Amino acid sequence: MFISSAFAQTAPAAAASGTNMQDSLMGMLPLVLMFVVLYFVMIRPQMKKQKEHRTMIEALAKGDEIATAGGLLGKVTKLGESHLSLEIANGVEVQLQRSAVVQVLPKGSVK
């Protein structure tokens, strides 16, 4: 009595199939923009830092003074393929992985 009858309507045909394509591309645009921003803000600087670290490790030489990730300071006495020996005090040497080297210090920093 108080409720009117509801009649189903047919959806109007799309004017062209290109509008559906444009709608899907516009829906993906924010996702693409977020990935581009993520690449330039996070991924690219991290890759650059890794490359600089790799070249620093490859350039290590006997006699270099270094700082390690664990906080040890010392002078490189022996170099191996993946390990090195570090003199942290007179007559005290430890072996480290090359990847543990964080920084090459200026000569004369470690006494």
Provide the residue ranges of all domains of the chain, joining segments of one domain with +: 17-59, 61-111
CATH classification (class only), 61-111? mainly beta
Question: What does the H/E/C string look like for 16-45?
Answer: CCHHHHHHHHHHHHHHHHHHHHHHHHHHHH
Distance CA 20, CA 10 (A): 18
Kindly report the pTM of this predicted structure.
0.66
Residues 92, 51 contacting (CB under 8 angstroms): no
Please, which residues have CB within 8 angstroms of residue 102's CB and are 6 or more apart in sequence? 66, 67, 68, 69
pLDDT band at 12 (very low <50, low <70, confident <90, very high): low
- Note the pLDDT tens digit of each residue in 47-102: 999 999 999 999 999 999 999 999 999 999 999 999 999 999 999 999 999 999 99
